Amino acid sequence: MLIRSIIVFLLASTFVNAQNLTVSENDRYLVSEDGKPFVWLGDTAWELFHKLDREEARHYLETRKEQGFTVIQAVILAENDGLRTPNSYGDVPFHDLDPTKPNEAYFKHVDYIVSLANELGLIMGLLPTWGDKLYSDHPAAGPIVFNPKNAEKYGRFLGRRYRENRIVWILGGDRTIANNEALDTWRSMAKGIKKGDGGEHLMTFHPRGGHSSSYWLHNEEWLDFNMFQSGHEKHFTPVYNFVKTDYLKSPVKPVVDGEPAYESIPVAFWEYCDFSTPKRVPDEALDEEGIIKDRSFFEKGFFTDYDMRTHAYWNFLSGACGYTYGNNAAWQMFKKGGNIAIPCLDDWRGSLQHTGANHIRYVSQLFNHYLISGIVPDQSIVYGVNWEGENHIRSAKSDDSSWMLIYLAKGQKVDVVMKKLSEKKAWAYWYNPRNGTYTSAGHFINAQIEQFTPPSSGTGNDWLLIIDTMEKRFE
């Protein structure tokens, strides 16, 4: 434990310290208090406050800090019957299911975890409630307890309580906005939070899959940046189209993919799950501890670390200022033999070391050298036809045209328009998103179109091509 604590301490000084975030002057990205661009590398820990005790929460947070995450997204009023099923200490959030009667014992546990995350240098992305606690088109466990009047009071309570913490507020909770009453309720909650914290923290909205906050809320003054959920429907989801839609909106606001495909979740899981039953799937598909034993039951397979990398790099090179990872077991903090939200390949502890989570450190490493503050999406860098889907190539350059980044999801050959760079000389490198290593791809005079062939190709062999007018910027 001593060695682990030392490692976490050292990493806390290596990565961006947790601070209140602001929006950049050009409204494209987030900035920490020291003025540096903030790379949002989130994890969806929706059930963190609800399912884990303090020792478990520490293990989770220290692991994610060590892996390079910068934001932890968690829900105060959790999805899985979070109003009636108590937390690890036997406490529920409210007395009599009344949002104006908070249970101090429950919120002290939330306080502890939020403060611990901040001590480790992590920003907490706090959802005041999951979206099923007010009216929506997709009812769930609920119950519905919020209306415009009590939502503002609850918001003031939260704003005051966490005013001194390093957080971002995320309203919504996997829901679209069904009608004017729902919109007024979210507006009231946002108003209450702003009154409570004096406007100290940024605020956004987490929508249902396939949607962005911009659809309903782009012009709301309280919405500081947009968040979309690209979802869990298929491999090679074109997340770049979500980013492009929001990137081109006016007024300009930063955009984050707040829920892409989770590692280890079944592809299009809803096609196989019966949500009216506790186990969701037939008994023979699970082992005695509730872990999936028959993977063939989910005919479309599972999302992997490869999906995580593809969606992360596509997002950033399209102009997003953040990407949120997720793991099916970790979001629901599934414990062996416990309640199942969506069947898992592992329990929450085992899932923390899944490959995709450990590859977050390489995303962080890259954007410590090629800052998101300088990224300008530019598909004209790629010469010729650029296909959609698995063969899509995503490219961007710096705002001063001193470097270009080109992501090849399947290690395909690429023809590059070299004259997009500002200088005549350039050095090219292959960045391996699977291990964070750089290898030379040559030295060039920028006068023509050059073809580059990655070291390997095919499914799972993704590469990032870096073309830079500065030799070995990353050293």
With beta carbons less than 8 A apart as the criterion, state whether 263 and 353 touch.
no
Kindly list the strands in the beta sheet with 226-229, ordered across the sheet, starting from the edge strand earlier in the chain. 203-205, 167-171, 123-127, 71-75, 40-44, 322-325, 255-257, 226-229, 211-212
Determine the pLDDT at residue 19: 56
The answer, yes or no, to whether residue 177 has pLDDT greater than 70, is: yes
Q: Which fold has domain 378-468?
A: Immunoglobulin-like (2.60.40)
Superfamily of the domain at 2-372: Glycosidases (3.20.20.80)
Question: Model pTM?
Answer: 0.95
| Buried-exposed string 189-219: b where 16+ CB fall within 10 A, e elsewhere | bbbbbbebbeebbbbbbbbbbebbbbebbee
Burial tier of 439 (Cβ tally within 10 Å: 0-12, 13-18, 19+): exposed
Determine the pLDDT at residue 109: 98
- Rounded CA separation 425/445 (Å): 5
**217-262 per-position pLDDT tens digit:** 999 999 999 999 999 999 999 999 999 999 999 999 999 999 999 9
Please report which confidence band the pLDDT of residue 446 belongs to, taking 50, 70 and 90 as the band edges: confident
Separation of CA 283 from chain center: 32
Written as one letter, the residue type at 168 is V
**1-60 per-position pLDDT tens digit:** 444 444 444 444 333 344 589 999 999 999 998 999 999 999 999 999 999 999 999 999
Sign of the alpha-carbon torsion through 192, 196, 201, 206 = negative
Please report which confidence band the pLDDT of residue 404 belongs to, taking 50, 70 and 90 as the band edges: very high
**374-395 per-position pLDDT tens digit:** 999 999 999 999 999 999 999 9
- Rounded CA separation 452/418 (Å): 11
Do the domains spanning 2-372 and 378-468 agree at the CATH topology level? no
Task: Tell me what the pLDDT averaged over the chain comes to.
Answer: 95
**103-145 per-position pLDDT tens digit:** 999 999 999 999 999 999 999 999 999 999 999 999 999 999 9
Instruction: Enumerate the domain spans of the chain.
Output: 2-372, 378-468
**295-310 per-position pLDDT tens digit:** 999 999 999 999 999 9
